């Protein structure tokens, strides 16, 4: 076992909290956040996120983990500082908003120039190298994460691969990268995890190209489903037949209203932006295909509800069952169903939302119904990106493209 180190993790979203839990099995970890309620929950060994593995580890395992609002003290004591703050895509600038990443780096440099900073937040290609040049700071690594919502800790315990970007040819940078990869391996349950070391820019590209490929698969099978709907064919039969080819496989093939969530929408747009000046057709088509799919879904819902473009649809009430993209997630940021809702609303339809994680009576101007039975009775049609057995009694009202009942 390696020497026990002190690690600070900036940000306690899915990436940060799962890493804090993973690494605190063998090291002293400070989980830094600016939200007191999250800090208090973690220190009470309760998860602020919907992730069963995180919940189990917090309540059952002996973890040397302290959540704190005191970033300066945590950074001052740290051997490694992991940056896992949000980097939302700014559509006006065609660029990730990386301001939170730089805020952390600047704070760390003021109190602890010896700390090795590892960026886990998703960033544009070439970003880490630009920071090295901007700050003249060499103790900077980039390590992409490959985590699923609601299964983040599981994916850290059983990683598909560990990738650490460093300054290849620089002995100290390579040593830091090997040390960080060793920390991740020590916390994992899976043995013989593939480990790759590369320059930071290549590591950043791996993240964006990986997620864009996954988005492409989602878009591909959604367009297959659109074709089948229009032509009156069985999407399920065709997808099963296609997926049995071992070169294609039976994953990421369940039709949906479109791809969404934390990563795929912003990562595909960022990669598209990085392609400026580079010939491409496929990358931009992936982004455009997702929008086309959502427009098709909105029209199909209107058809199901007996509505027409430009008609008086004010007496039609569409129920939205869950805003989340995945069945076990509590995240609905950038969910495809929200784009569909805007399209329906623009056509004069009334929407009612059932989302158990909301504690308000409205969401973005839409009515929220907290009682499931009342929700079912109020709606002419219920739309569900992912089907749930609680809708079985009103199945004839439900519009979904969830053919395989899985994410």
Catalytic site positions: 263
**DSSP output for 30-47:** EEE-S-HHHHHHHHTT--
Cβ proximity of 31 and 16 under 8 Å? yes
Q: Which residues contact 336 (CB under 8 A, 6 or more apart)?
A: 256, 257, 258, 259, 260, 290, 293, 294, 297, 325, 385
3-state secondary structure of 110: helix
Please state whether beta strands 195-199 and 317-321 pair in parallel, antiparallel, or not at all (unpaired).
unpaired
Cβ proximity of 113 and 107 under 8 Å? no
Half-sphere exposure at residue 38, Cβ-oriented, CA atoms within 13 angstroms = 17
* First-last CA distance in the chain: 37
Joined together, the tokens standing for residue 194 give 């593939």
Within 125-170, residue ranges assigned H as helices are 127-135, 152-157
């Amino acid at each position: 076992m390696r020497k026990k180190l002190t690690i600070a993790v900036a940000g306690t979203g899915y990436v940060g909290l799962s890493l804090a839990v993973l690494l605190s099995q063998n090291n002293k970890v400070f989980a830094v956040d600016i939200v007191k309620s999250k800090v208090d929950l973690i220190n009470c060994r309760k998860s602020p996120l919907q992730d069963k593995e995180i919940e189990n580890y917090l309540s059952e395992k002996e973890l040397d983990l302290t959540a704190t609002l005191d970033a300066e003290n945590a950074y001052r004591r740290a051997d490694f500082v992991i940056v896992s703050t949000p980097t939302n895509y700014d559509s006006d600038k065609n660029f990730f908003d990386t301001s939170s990443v730089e805020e952390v780096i600047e704070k760390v440099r003021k109190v602890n120039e010896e700390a090795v900073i590892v960026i886990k937040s998703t960033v544009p290609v070439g970003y880490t190298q630009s920071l090295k040049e901007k700050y003249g700071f060499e103790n900077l690594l980039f390590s992409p994460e490959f985590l699923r919502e609601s299964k983040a800790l599981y994916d850290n315990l059983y990683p598909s691969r560990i990738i650490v970007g460093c300054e290849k040819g620089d002995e100290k940078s390579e040593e830091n990268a090997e040390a960080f990869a060793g920390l991740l391996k020590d916390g994992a349950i899976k043995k013989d995890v593939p480990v790759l070391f590369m320059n930071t820019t290549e590591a950043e590209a791996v993240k964006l190209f990986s997620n864009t490929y996954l988005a492409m698969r989602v878009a591909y099978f959604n367009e297959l489903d659109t074709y089948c709907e229009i032509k009156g064919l069985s999407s399920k039969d065709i997808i099963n037949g296609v997926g049995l080819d071992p070169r294609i496989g039976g994953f990421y093939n369940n039709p949906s209203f479109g791809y969404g969530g934390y990563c795929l929408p912003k990562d595909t747009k960022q990669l598209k932006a990085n392609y400026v000046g580079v010939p491409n057709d496929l990358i931009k088509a992936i982004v455009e295909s997702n929008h086309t799919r959502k427009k098709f879904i909105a029209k199909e819902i209107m058809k199901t509800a007996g509505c027409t473009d430009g008609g008086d649809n004010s007496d039609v009430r569409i129920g939205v069952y869950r805003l989340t993209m995945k069945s076990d997630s509590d995240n609905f940021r950038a969910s495809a169903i929200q784009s569909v809702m805007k399209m329906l609303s623009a056509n004069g339809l009334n929407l009612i939302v059932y989302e158990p994680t909301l504690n308000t009576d409205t969401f973005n101007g839409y009515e929220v119904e907290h009682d499931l039975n009342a929700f079912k009775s109020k709606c002419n049609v219920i739309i569900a990106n992912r089907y749930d057995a609680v809708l079985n009694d009103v199945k004839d009202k439900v519009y979904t493209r969830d053919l395989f009942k899985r994410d």
